[in-house]
Amino acid sequence: MASKSAFEYYDNLKEISPVRAVAETLLNSSRVRKVTVREAYELARKQPGVSETDLPVYPAAAKRLGLPEGAKILNDCHGKIIGRTAKARVFYNRIPENEKRKVEGDLREAVYQLEQYDLIKAEGIIGLNKELMIKATYITTTTDAANVFNWLVNFTPYEELQEIYEKSEKLPIQDIIIVAFNDWTCNDTYYNNVGSPQLALVDEQHNTIFNLGMRYFGERKKGTLTLAWTSGMRLNMAACHGGIKEIDFSECEVPYDSLKKRSIAFFGLSGTGKSSHTNSHDNGGTLPKGFKKVVLHDDAFQIDTENKVCRVWEPTLFDKTDSRFPDNPDWKYFICTMNHAIIEYNGKKIPVGLDLRQGNGRALIDRDLLGKWVNNCAFPAALVWLMKDSVLPPILKFNDKYLAVAMGAALMTKRNRAENVKEEELAKLVFEPFANPFRVYELYKDVESFIKVIETGASCYTFNSAGMWKSSDEIVEKIPLQTSLTLQTAILTDKLEWEEWGMLPGACIPTRESVEKILPGYYDKYDPAKRDNFEEYSELLKNRFDQRRSFIEKSDIKTIPDLQVKLMERLIIK
């Protein structure tokens, strides 16, 4: 299915927002030159701040993209800002009318500045399944060509899927427009300023984003994905900032063969193990012989409950590279890098992925890194919320859909002393519902979507990926990744039986008999009832769930009182 142009989508052209109208006018300017991915690559090679290394672009990707023979990886350094800037976001549809008028005027002035430059645009397709594709156009200056190239790599150049796209049925969704202007100048204190102004103006209702004063590629990628996820939500599909893989047991020995195909999805903030669980080849050697694994993606997909299928948005991975030494075999699959140090090694200039130059070094990597991949996979048999919360056992299963979704809606992380915050701040949880900081619509819509996913057949779990209270919040029983991978396989193969965790009705822990067969010593090590200093443990457990309740109480879920009550009632520790 394909998206619609503005003329096709709007029955009444007066419904086009001023933000979309500004973008459309720029999109259709005769001065804006369309470039291919190869042309963007050649422009990027000449761009200040971009280094051409001696490391080859992954050959299969270079061929698919139509790059010149022997194309080398380009490294783009963004400057002071090395990550996304949440403070720069202005949500057009949420601000008061008087502020809208102001922002619209400032936007027109910014575009007037932009039009003094040589401008280019690139067309891409967001989504790789013929049932869910959105056309997108990225407009910017020639001096931003590296981000144009990276954007086309991260998604798909229009020409690559043009034939499939143009034969697809039309969706009731507008094409996406992204406009970027790195050299924007403005002294207005209304906008975030770090020595220069920054604005990410989001008009999700009209599938338009302006990135002004920001060079970091992640703004373009996540801005585009934000609109894609929201478009999927408008089509009644659950938006997922997570990883998902499918395991095929049909060629395994009895009794595993009867399991057929099962997908499992993971949702977690940075450092909780989302990629480790999604991308693990064989779950630490625990999957039965004969299994086959495919990965949909480790970052972004959509769940279609009506057709019971999951669909991917991107053909590449946007990975941190801080732990990849030069001899890591992953480098074979790299297409481009960002914010890397370049060193000379055996007469060749190579990017080093160890965050030597700065933090948050990134790369776009071909999905071939993951082994076999697919563009759609089975409806998830299991959803897993990954959290670092010392009061939780390594695994919980929820047999109450409202508790399951409440835990996802109140997915949490904690402050740490490295953040230089006051001691009382360390006790406060930080919530990122469903691990998706890019949600631009009301939280209750995600809640309703995931309730529907569970009602359609997915079971739901929480994995604690840190450690469990041993004698205090800081003295914990470690939970090795291998333990969690073993538990993941146990979920997929129905090896666990469950008993109610009395302190949280609706939540279950594995029975001693079932878990000891696969992880000897597990039950006594992680039995919640056997925590040292149990009164203090119990008090912290109640405090953490009170904070979850408070978050739900203050959120926009309150606009649906019956739903809010059901979620809050489930988050009570007995």
Model pLDDT for residues 72-85, shown as the tens digit of each residue: 999 999 989 888 89
Task: Write down the pLDDT at residue 423.
Answer: 66
pLDDT confidence of residue 419: 47
Class of domain 242-298+379-570: alpha beta
Q: Which residues of the chain have pLDDT under 50?
A: 417-419
Give the per-residue pLDDT at 1.
Answer: 75
Cis peptide before 528 (omega within 30 of 0): no
Overall size of the chain counted in residues:
574
Where in the chain is CATH 3.40.449.10? Answer: 2-50+61-69+79-236
Q: What is the pLDDT of residue 415?
A: 65
The letter for the amino acid at 346 is: N
What value does the CA radius of gyration of the chain take, rounded to a whole number of Å?
24
- CB atoms near residue 259 (< 10 Å): 18
Nearest CA among 193, 394, 191 for reference residue 277: 394
**Where along the chain do the CATH 3.90.228.20 domains lie?**
242-298+379-570
Rounded to whole angstroms, how far apart are CA atoms 375 and 314?
Answer: 9
Residue 420: the pLDDT is: 52
Residue 417: per-residue pLDDT: 47
The SS3 call for residue 256 is helix
CB 389 within 8 A of CB 464: yes
Q: How many angstroms separate the CA atoms of 413 and 435, rounded?
A: 10
Helix, strand, or coil (residue 14) = helix
Q: Facing residues of 4 across strands? A: 174
User: What pLDDT, on the 0 to 100 scale, is given for residue 418?
Assistant: 46
Q: How far apart are the first and last CA of the chain?
A: 49
pLDDT digits (tens, 9 = 90+) for 323-365: 999 999 999 999 999 999 999 999 999 999 999 999 999 999 9
Whole-angstrom CA distances from 287 to 129, 265, 485, 486, 524 are 28, 17, 9, 8, 25
pLDDT at residue 258, rounded to an integer = 97
Q: What is the pTM of this model?
A: 0.94
Distance of CA 59 to the CA centre of its chain: 27
Select from 90, 86, 62, 60 the least CA-distant residue to 74.
62
Distance CA 538, CA 543 (A): 9
Q: What is the pLDDT of residue 268?
A: 95
> Under CATH, which number does the domain 2-50+61-69+79-236 receive?
3.40.449.10
CA dihedral sign of residues 527, 529, 532, 534: positive
Element (H, E) at 540: helix 534-554
